[in-house]
Homo-oligomer: A and B are copies of this chain.
Amino acid sequence: MIRAAIAGATGYAGAELVRILSGHPQVTLTALTSRQFAGMPFGKVFPGMNGIVDIPCEELTPEQLCNKADVVFTALPHKLPMQIAPELIRRGVRVVDLSADFRFSNVSEYEAHYQPHTAQELLKQAVYGLSEVYTEQIRQARIIGNPGCYPTSVLLPLIPLLKKNLTDTSTIIADSKSGVSGAGRSPSLTSHFCEVAESFKAYKAASHRHNPEMDEVLSREAGESVHITFVPHLIPMSRGMLTTIYAALKQDISEAEIRECIREFYAGRPFVRVCSEGSMPNTLHVRGTNFCDIGVKVDKKAKRLVLISAIDNLVKGAAGQAVQNMNLMFGLDEAVGLKGVPYPL
């Protein structure tokens, strides 16, 4: 059994990790950290888990974590993971970091959008954990920078097309819509129920920190410098993310061929589903699961491609992909522990 600890277990991504790992047949949860809820059993912080996961929330030093775990998931605000990861790695513990601290190859990009990076040596070793794309590197990795939710929803549909050079990369636009859980569990006016219900808005239009993260990966995969226009929006629902991507097509190509291109790229991978003609992704269809559903439409008159992806921002966009990466790192089938199916409603 793999001994897993979660640092930051009482945020939404952390709690989702607890949920998933509590049912993972190869994992034992050995430690949950939480500053705010230290001393309380997890099942008291999230009463739905009462009687299921009653491990206490604790405050633990990196050393203490190392004694308890083979892998640590750091579901902490950025800046904290880069403070503790070096010690974990030094002692041979694997790390899957859900913050932005280990996502960038280009440290100056990170520093331009976050803060000074204090673990640059380790950053060089980190692998970007887009499971279906960097599979081999993830298998070898000691530390994973788990992708942001928005980048996951943008990169999975786009990369197969970039690889084949089918679109004009200067024309790419990603219009994303996310459930409120993406903003985390800390109370704030913007996540107050009454401010969100019956409300829909864009935020950080063309200035969100996930934009440079996507640009870096897209540039690497396209083999040229890519900058996309990215506008995120907030949906009045708890979880789920839908991204609508627009790009000019470089050539005359049918919807069926594009679907085939994506299907081929992800052949054998269990979590990417390409919708058939006439069908389109819906966040409800992936809710609570690690699936990324992808739909394709061509606006022939405009010679423009429309790609639509749906993920659960907390699963494929965070905790689920983190577990998938852990599976890969430990030589397991990537789908172990992630076979839950969506509710019909």
| Chain A residues bordering chain B, tally (CB within 8 A) | 89
Interface residues of A in 280-316 (CB under 8 A from B): 280-289, 293, 295, 297-299, 301-302, 304, 306, 308, 310
**A5 at the A/B interface (Cβ < 8 Å)?**
no
Instruction: Point out the residues of chain B lying under 8 angstroms from A77, CB to CB.
Output: none
Q: Do residues B273 and A199 form an inter-chain contact, with CB atoms below 8 A?
A: no
Q: Do residues A231 and B244 form an inter-chain contact, with CB atoms below 8 A?
A: yes
Instruction: Point out the residues of chain B lying under 8 angstroms from A299, CB to CB.
Output: 206, 229
Taken together as a complex, chains A and B put the C-alpha atoms of A16 and B235 apart, in Å, by 24
Q: Do residues B287 and A198 form an inter-chain contact, with CB atoms below 8 A?
A: yes
CB-CB nearest 9 A-B residue pairs: A48-B342, A48-B285, A15-B344, A199-B284, A187-B187, A206-B299, A201-B282, A194-B345, A175-B175
A206-217 interface code vs B (CB 8 A; 1 in, 0 out):
110000000000
A22-58 interface code vs B (CB 8 A; 1 in, 0 out):
1100000000000000000000101111111100000
**A192 at the A/B interface (Cβ < 8 Å)?**
yes
New contact pairs (15) apart from A202-B281, A227-B302, CB-CB < 8 Å: A48-B344, A175-B246, A187-B188, A193-B196, A194-B345, A198-B198, A199-B284, A205-B297, A228-B302, A231-B297, A231-B306, A235-B236, A238-B345, A246-B246, A340-B340
Taken together as a complex, chains A and B put the C-alpha atoms of A260 and B286 apart, in Å, by 41
Q: Do residues B48 and A236 form an inter-chain contact, with CB atoms below 8 A?
A: no
Taken together as a complex, chains A and B put the C-alpha atoms of A280 and B51 apart, in Å, by 15
**A203 at the A/B interface (Cβ < 8 Å)?**
yes
- Please pick, from B19, B341, B344, the residue contacting A344 in the complex, using a CB distance under 8 A: B19
**A61 at the A/B interface (Cβ < 8 Å)?**
no
Most buried by B among A180, A233, A298, A310: A233
Taken together as a complex, chains A and B put the C-alpha atoms of A198 and B240 apart, in Å, by 8
Instruction: Point out the residues of chain B lying under 8 angstroms from A310, CB to CB.
Output: 200-201
Instruction: Point out the residues of chain B lying under 8 angstroms from A293, CB to CB.
Output: 47
- Please pick, from B50, B185, B231, B279, the residue contacting A47 in the complex, using a CB distance under 8 A: B279
* Smallest CB gap from A11: residue in B: B344
- Please pick, from B19, B185, B341, the residue contacting A23 in the complex, using a CB distance under 8 A: B341
